[in-house]
Structure 1
Amino acid sequence: MIRKLSLLSALPLIASLYGSTALAGEPVKVVASFTVLADVVAQVGGDHVEVSSLVGPNGDPHEFEPSPSDAKALKAAKVTFISGEGLEGWMERLISASGYEGKPVVVSDGITLRSMEEDGETVTDPHVWNSPVNVKVWVDNIAAALAKADPDDAADFAANAKAYKDKLDTLDAYAHEKFDAVPEASRKILTSHDAFGYLGREYGVTFLSPLGLSTETEASAADVAQLIEQIKTEHVKTYFLENSNDPRLVEQIAGATGAQSGGELYVESLSEKDGPAPTYEQMFRYNVDQLSAAMAKSS
């Protein structure tokens, strides 16, 4: 009788073939949970790090399924970064299965988090990166962890971190310029799931969505009906799809409300290199441009 093994149960055997010791002078092997975080780590680490992302471009970090190659990358990493706050629900299983002996660095530690009620429970919003103010906290945590792993290059990590935080300040100012020009009553957008709460908090934008904080949740018929009524009452005129999520539900709601498509946003994942959002900076600017243009048009 042939016994079939699940992917995660097979990972320890695969991972055991690979070591995690880096040679002196080589870049530090680093793993990040998803592309947005991987890009920020690369900005801070510079030439001193070799960064790989477990979730690829246009991937959904909520519903990610690890592969043997992910176990290999994790096993070989000297430092692993996650955003935390429930985003990477699969990471603990992957660590256990791969034999990785380190402890992931939670880069969102220190951020003032937002929470909401979902199915009678209070849950934390993990989508902190949709505010560049929060990403500055990421940068400090990343620089500290890299300096600990590679003390010889700590000064470079600190310099890179400072330079990148200046860019994040520029992004913050850019977003304020764009959104502040739109009347507050017109700053309302329909999206697939509740992933823009931190952007909304920072810039006074209201986001409505049929799904909660995770794409793994399901909207009930009553929830959808209530949202449709709210969209009509508040005169929300534009909806956006998300690059990593199923568009069908939000399209259905848009059809029932008369909301018009504003295009696609990059919420939890960067695009491919030849797409409009291959870095965090480009992703944030792209989203701000798309959102502010749609709001200005409907105001």
Structure 2
Amino acid sequence: MKHRSPRLLALTSFLTVGVLALSGCGQAAPSEAEKPRVLTTFTVLEDMAQNVADDYLEVESLTKPGAEIHEYEPTPSDIRKAHDADLVLDNGLNLESWFEKFIQDSDAQHITVSDGIEPIAIAEGDAASTPNPHAWMSPVNAQVYVDNMAKAFADLDPAHADEFRENARSYKQELASVHHDLLNDLKPLEKSQRTLVTCESAFSYLAKDAGLNEEYLWAVNSHAQATPSQVSHVIDAVKADKVRAVFCESTVSDHAMKQVVDATDASFGGVLYVDSLSEENGPVPTYVDLLKHDAETIARGLTGGDAAAETPEK
């Protein structure tokens, strides 16, 4: 039997430790396959969640950029994603009408990120008196979303709880700054200029933050076009308030709103983003970009600045 010298044993031990370190033992970051998986229902939540999760979790949106979330129909591959997820985040407030059935057979943890905000009721239509689901359009409410995400992520991955809390703190500071800038962008508007006319009643929370009045073609997105009476009502409101510009959201047709433009002195002020981010090279690749874009577009349109020559994404 051969005996190794002490020097050779020491060298062997040193090389073994080095190989183990390089192979991922100790404090090395987890591989993609090892990261807990978080699934969100739409791209806005995905971006918010990614800012809190950083590289410690794998975050994915169920829907793609440009998708309409209200009446989305999950596919078989979506069902598989839910089964593979460790945590699923939804907005709640009746936004994802399909969600309860979608999640019922999944073993993933689930949280509703709007929990804790004060809902604003929809004023009219079939959904009257139910919560307006677009609470994330207020940067103040968004900070509640972020806190809910940070807590859920800490429960999912306790080893990185401190990192999630610090990421959330930093991101909330950025959202507070966006809120301040949004108010400043809209501050020059006179009282007579503070009517925001959109296709859907998706801006109730932003309007409350900024002191704007709301007019809209329909209360909640649907596949149906605006009715003649809805178009007529908005035409009358635009004329009465001498509204300078009207707007429409990126995920719906602007055809009815163009009828309003043709029948009044208002211009088409541009495309606003609510339910979905754009592609990475588009105008709103992040949630913060979305808020800034909408505030700037609204302020420019209502103060009589150059109207945006945009067409809603389809």
Same fold by TM-score, threshold 0.5 exceeded? yes
3-state SS of 2:285 partner: coil
Residue 216 of structure 1 deviates from its aligned partner by 4.9
Residue 112 of structure 1 deviates from its aligned partner by 1.1
Q: Which moved more, 1:23-32 or 1:185-194?
A: 23-32
**What letter corresponds to residue 111 of structure 1 in structure 2?**
I
Partner of 2:63: 55
Output the TM-score relative to the length of structure 1.
Answer: 0.87
Task: Say if 2:272 is the partner of 1:265.
Answer: yes
Aligned positions, number = 275
Partner of 1:107: 113
Q: Is the 8 A contact 2:125 2:219 kept in 1?
A: no
Q: Is the 8 A contact 2:204 2:214 kept in 1?
A: yes
**Aligned pair in 2 of structure 1 residues 132, 217: CA closer, same or farther (>3 Å)?**
farther
> What is the percent sequence identity of the aligned residues?
32
- Rg larger for: 2
3-state SS of 2:174 partner: helix
Partner of 2:301: 294
Q: How does 1:163-242 map to 2 (within 5 A)?
A: 163-216=170-223, 219-242=226-249
2:96 aligned residue (53, 69, 88)? 88
Partner of 1:148: 155
Partner of 1:5: none
Task: Say if 2:124 is the partner of 1:118.
Answer: yes
Partner of 1:46: 54
Task: Say if 2:122 is the partner of 1:127.
Answer: no
In the alignment, the residues of structure 1 paired with residue 124 and residue 197 of structure 2 have an alpha-carbon distance, to the nearest angstrom, of 18
3-state SS of 1:191 partner: strand
**What letter corresponds to residue 46 of structure 1 in structure 2?**
D
Residue 196 of structure 1 deviates from its aligned partner by 0.6
Residue 54 of structure 1 deviates from its aligned partner by 1.0
Residue 223 of structure 1 deviates from its aligned partner by 3.0
**What letter corresponds to residue 292 of structure 1 in structure 2?**
A
Q: Is the 8 A contact 2:82 2:108 kept in 1?
A: no
In the alignment, the residues of structure 1 paired with residue 61 and residue 32 of structure 2 have an alpha-carbon distance, to the nearest angstrom, of 23
Output the TM-score relative to the length of structure 2.
Answer: 0.83
RMSD across aligned positions (CA): 1.9
**Aligned pair in 2 of structure 1 residues 216, 24: CA closer, same or farther (>3 Å)?**
closer
Deviations 1:180-230 (A, max 9, x none): 122122122321111011000000122311111333566443333222211
Gaps of 5+ in 1: 1-21
**What letter corresponds to residue 234 of structure 1 in structure 2?**
D
3-state SS of 1:126 partner: coil
**What letter corresponds to residue 129 of structure 1 in structure 2?**
W
**What letter corresponds to residue 262 of structure 1 in structure 2?**
G
In the alignment, the residues of structure 1 paired with residue 227 and residue 36 of structure 2 have an alpha-carbon distance, to the nearest angstrom, of 46
Deviations 1:117-166 (A, max 9, x none): 32364121000111100000000000000111111110000000000000
**What letter corresponds to residue 26 of structure 1 in structure 2?**
E
In the alignment, the residues of structure 2 paired with residue 255 and residue 190 of structure 1 have an alpha-carbon distance, to the nearest angstrom, of 15
Gaps of 5+ in 2: 1-29, 306-314
Q: Which moved more, 1:209-218 or 1:32-41?
A: 209-218
